């Protein structure tokens, strides 16, 4: 199966329909699923990475928090659990994440330089290299059924062709509700980061799943999504540089620790609007988490492109999802 769309919402609608029409009922590890195998997806505009499907209630601030967790090279449970308590259920030791900590695997220098630094250097030496692969699976004890968290993502390959950076991700397993929207968000964000570092345009994003599935507990939600077939078309702004990402990582922690406590303080930071707008999303999340959600009037931040997503977050009370 090969599906091509310019945005993640149409892509998901097509997948929900394909699962309903031709999916197989498969039970694994005690969970009943509807499954498609060997699925090949292409997103022609990877900046249209935000899921806004009616009834899906995708959590944009969580996606930003999870992305920064990855960018920080962290495997700390307390960090990512702040944004979604469900992460605790896949921790082997109650303090860390050992499988799905993708940023920990690529941004940390485990043996000399990090995978990410080596990747950038490789492309600078040979812009048309076929070796630009990040590995999330090697070295894992992945064949032990007792493990709570085995990486769903195996590899991501980058190719520069015609001055555009394409990305191809291979997933051994992908859940359409909880997995795919956040995976595509992070990996296309990573794709844009590398394109920015290399000074080339973004190309297409390819997503290959050995097993793409829908859990039984989400069947009703899927039916509602398919019946409505409504979404808000949204494209994230261009990433102009990656120089301020270290500041983004540090300031995320300040918000999470309630040390950066107002929208005004964020607005006064000597940083680009791109970074301040992402920090605003995190601040909105934190205020809601502290049961002090911002009002519509307080959210009218001049020039913030994420207002529709932030209003949606507050309106659907996503902290309870």
Tokens describing residue 251: 């300031």
pTM above 0.85, yes or no: yes
CA angle, 185 as apex, 183 and 187 as ends, to 5°?
Answer: 65
Q: Please report the pLDDT score of residue 110 as a whole number.
A: 78
Is residue 112 over pLDDT 60?
yes
Distance CA 72, CA 244 (A): 13
At residue 312, the 3 state secondary structure works out as: helix
pLDDT (tens digit, 9 = 90+) per residue, 266-314? 999 999 999 999 999 999 999 999 999 998 888 887 779 999 999 999 9
Q: Is the CB of residue 284 less than 8 Å from the CB of residue 299?
A: yes
Give the confidence band of 139 by pLDDT, cuts at 50, 70, 90. Answer: low
Nearest to 281 by CA among 259, 268, 266: 266
Is residue 321 over pLDDT 50?
no
Q: Please report the pLDDT score of residue 320 as a whole number.
A: 47
Q: For the chain, which domains are there? A: 2-228 (3.30.572.10), 245-315 (no CATH)
Is residue 138 over pLDDT 80?
no
pLDDT (tens digit, 9 = 90+) per residue, 248-266? 999 999 999 999 999 999 9
Give start and end residues of each alpha helix (H) in the chain: 8-22, 60-71, 77-81, 102-107, 115-125, 180-198, 219-228, 245-256, 263-267, 273-289, 307-315
Q: Please report the pLDDT score of residue 171 as a whole number.
A: 97
Beta-bridged to residue 136, according to DSSP, are none
Rg (CA), the chain: 19
């Amino acid at each position: 199966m090969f599906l091509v769309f310019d945005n993640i919402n149409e892509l998901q609608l097509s997948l929900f329909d394909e699962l309903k029409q031709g999916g197989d009922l498969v039970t694994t590890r005690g969970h009943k699923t509807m499954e498609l195998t060997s699925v090949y997806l292409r997103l022609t505009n990877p900046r249209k990475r935000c899921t806004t499907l009616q009834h899906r209630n995708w959590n944009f601030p969580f996606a930003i928090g999870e992305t920064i967790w990855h960018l920080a090279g962290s495997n700390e449970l307390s960090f990512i659990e702040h944004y979604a308590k469900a992460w605790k259920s896949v921790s082997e030791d109650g303090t860390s994440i050992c499988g799905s900590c993708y940023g920990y695997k690529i941004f940390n220098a485990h043996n000399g330089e990090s995978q990410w630094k080596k990747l950038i250097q490789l492309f600078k030496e040979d812009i048309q290299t076929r070796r630009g692969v990040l590995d999330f699976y090697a070295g894992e004890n992945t064949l032990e059924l007792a493990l709570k968290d085995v990486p769903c993502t195996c590899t991501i390959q980058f190719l520069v062709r015609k001055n555009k950076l394409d990305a191809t991700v291979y997933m051994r397993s992908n859940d359409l509700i909880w997995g795919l929207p956040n995976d595509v968000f992070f990996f296309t964000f990573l794709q844009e980061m590398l394109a920015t570092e290399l000074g080339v345009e973004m190309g297409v994003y390819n997503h290959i799943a050995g097993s793409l599935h829908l859990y039984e507990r989400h069947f009703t939600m899927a039916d509602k999504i398919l019946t409505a077939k409504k979404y808000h078309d949204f494209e994230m702004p261009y990433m102009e540089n990656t120089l301020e990402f270290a500041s983004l990582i540090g300031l995320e922690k300040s918000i999470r620790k309630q040390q950066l406590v107002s929208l005004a303080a964020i607005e006064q930071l000597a940083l680009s609007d791109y970074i301040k707008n992402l920090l605003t999303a995190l601040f909105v999340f934190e205020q809601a988490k502290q049961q002090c959600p911002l009002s519509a009037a307080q959210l009218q931040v001049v020039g913030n492109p994420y207002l529709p997503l932030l209003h949606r977050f507050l309106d659907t009370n996503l902290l309870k999802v």
